[in-house]
Amino acid sequence: MKAVVFSESPVFLKMAAAVAQSFGGDVIGISDSENVKFVNKLYIIDKMDEDGIVDLISSLSPDVILTGNVRRDRAIAGRVAGKLKLPIVTDVVSLKVEDKKVTLNRVAYSGMGLVTLESELPIVMTIANTQLQPKELQPTVEKVQLKEGRVKIVGRKSTSSGVNLATADIVIGVGRGIGSKENVKYAEELAKALGGAVGGSRPVAAELNWVPEDRQIGLSGLRIRPKLYIALGISGQPQHIAGIRDSKIIVAVNTDKNAPILENADYLVVGNAIDFCKVMLSKLGKK
Amino acid sequence: MNIVVGFKIVPDDQMVKVVGDKLNTDAPLKVSTYDKNAIEEAIRLKEKFGGKVTGITVGSNDRKSIREALAMGVDEVIAILVKDPDVYVTAMAIAENVKMLNPDIILFSEMTTDSGTSALPAYVSELLGLPYISNVKSLKIEGNKVTADRGMVSYIETVESSLPLVVSVGGEINTPRIPSVKQIMESSKKPVKEVKFDAQSKVRIREIKPMIVNRKRIVIEESDINKAVDKLIEYLKSDGVI
């Protein structure tokens, strides 16, 4: 069994390697960093060129190709599958390999469904999340100079705001219902008082830029698992729910007591989100 | 310009519900949410550069949804019927049917609302041997040169490539137009070509179960927001989260 693992994200690379190790064969890693200690062999690439990475992975003829789940990983996984005409399953939450057959679980329908799938090896998959920890190994290392691809990277602008929602205990999510970019400050103040962080629905983060783009919560953005999630002015689109499903407690604040988010909330406070923030702040201050 | 846009007809994700221990996906059909952004972008390219927009859809051939795409400005739709479509079968069906169109650009959305794999556009690009740019949030074409901003969540990447190519777009790229009554009427006259494609899927679905998270669903409604917040704080304290 030969497994190839790739991710642009160090966290996902580690998770993918942990899954790959569980198959018991050789684990080959591809990364632009030397600091990868959980594979048997490591190819260090000189650039994040997708054409080059797709060619490199394909040339290794793996039984299993595992990538992480960030956007570049997904693009590469889909292309490797297409190039080798292999089956592909993304967002894998658990799997079992027996002989040449693999049974996988993934979420679908914006996180509402858990689907069990079957396929043969070789296969390409992207890993959603795992608690598995990889063993530390001493890989043999080979540096690879990738060829120049057909898509040239000419610029990169960070949207990072220095806040990691994935690890925050308390997250406040803002949606269009908060009214304006200026109003986000009330959510920020409340988050500060609670020791939490502010994120936003896709329209608010990616389209309106009321909150930084790297704090987009949802199916195609971040999937968070805080102790407490407070949704301010978020109606509850399935794509948003997909990102908050693993929260311990979900509070929604909405002027409409019939907002669809109620179905996925523990508490729905009927009211204006700004008033709510102001009152919460004053009460927490009094403590 | 020969423009091809892929779209998927899916159960309305707002209407897919957990009923007992089953996920009821038997909901009204529609064009998947971000696929409308791909259609909008395709029509904008046609308005700018001329040519033709061919829509392509695999799976359901629901006529009402196909007409939605035609009413927005797609000139013709190829609806492909397949058995058990996985990513492989869908991609093969599309590649097979778009080759002869000689496309300059093939647009998809970055993710559908049902399976949401993000894998299809990438798969198709390899089957056709074309370059691929995913997660495009803005697209500029001058002559053969393509410049695109990719939204990668924690950063934005600007890339250059050239036609022909495959792109996937995100919801932030544009706002899909709402067709006029006249366009809706006229859409019934536009051609829809139904074809069959036969291939064995590589991934088989064994079971679909609902993901059940039991929420308390307590509504706190008070005429005075102070009282409501007091109640909430009590609840949150007893839950041990603040």
Whether ipTM tops 0.85, in short, is yes
Task: Give me the sheet containing A2-6, strands edge to edge.
Answer: A140-144, A41-45, A26-31, A2-6, A64-67, A123-127, A88-98, A101-108, A113-120, B203-210
Mutation for testing the A interface, residue in B232, B235, B237 having most A CBs under 10 Å: B232
Q: Tell if the pTM clears 0.90, that is, is over it.
A: yes
Q: Which of A71, A114, A270 sits opposite B152 (nearest CB)?
A: A71
Q: Do A112 and B23 touch (CB under 8 A)?
A: yes
Between chains, do A82 and B125 touch, taking CB under 8 Å as contact? yes
Instruction: Choose the closest CB to A152 out of B18, B114, B160.
Output: B160
- Measured between alpha carbons, how far is A60 from A46 in angstroms, rounded to an integer? 18
B117/A91 touch (CB, cutoff 8 Å), yes or no = yes
pLDDT for A77 beyond 60: yes
Contact assignment for A87 to B86 by CB distance below 8 Å? yes
Quote the minimal CA–CA distance from B221 to chain A in Å: 5
**pLDDT of the residue at B190:** 98
Helices and strands (H, E) in chain A, number of each type: 7, 15
pLDDT exceeds 60 at position A231: yes
Helix (H) or strand (E) holding B108: strand B105-109
Question: By three-state DSSP, how is residue A20 classified?
Answer: helix
Chain position carrying tokens 């304290």: B237
Q: Find chain B residues with C-beta within 8 A of A121's C-beta.
A: none
The Cα of B108 is separated from the nearest Cα of chain A by a number of Å equal to 13
Burial B10-34 (b: 16+ CB within 10 A, else e): bbebbebebeeeebebeeeebbbbb
Instruction: Tell me the per-residue pLDDT of A165-197, one tens digit each, with 9 for 90 and over.
Output: 988 999 999 999 999 999 999 999 999 999 999
Please determine, for residue A286, whether its predicted confidence score (pLDDT) is greater than 90: no
pLDDT digits (tens, 9 = 90+) for B75-94: 999 999 999 899 999 999 99
Please list every residue in chain A whose beta carbon sits closer than 8 Å to the beta carbon of residue B162. 150
Are B173 and B41 spatial neighbours (Cβ–Cβ below 8 Å)? yes
Burial class (CB in 10 A: 0-12, 13-18, 19+), A99: exposed
pLDDT tops 70 at residue A287 = no
Which of A109, A119, A169, A269 best probes binding to B when mutated, by most B CB atoms within 10 angstroms?
A: A109
β-pairing, B29-31 with B9-11? antiparallel
Measure the CA–CA gap between B235 and A96, rounded to whole angstroms: 41
Contact B213 A149 (CB under 8 A): no
* Alpha-carbon span A104 to B153, nearest angstrom: 27
CB pair distance less than 8 Å for B206 and A214: no
**A130 to chain B, closest Cα gap in Å:** 17
- Higher per-residue pLDDT: B154 or A173: A173
Percent of residues, chain A, with pLDDT higher than 70:
99
pLDDT value, residue B226? 96
Which regions of chain A does DSSP assign to beta strands (E)?
2-6, 26-31, 41-45, 64-67, 88-98, 101-108, 113-120, 123-127, 140-144, 152-158, 170-174, 197-200, 228-232, 249-254, 267-270
Q: Smallest CA–CA separation between A212 and chain B, in Å?
A: 9
Could you tell me what percent of chain A has a pLDDT over 90? Answer: 85
Nearest-Cα residue of chain B relative to residue A48 = B157
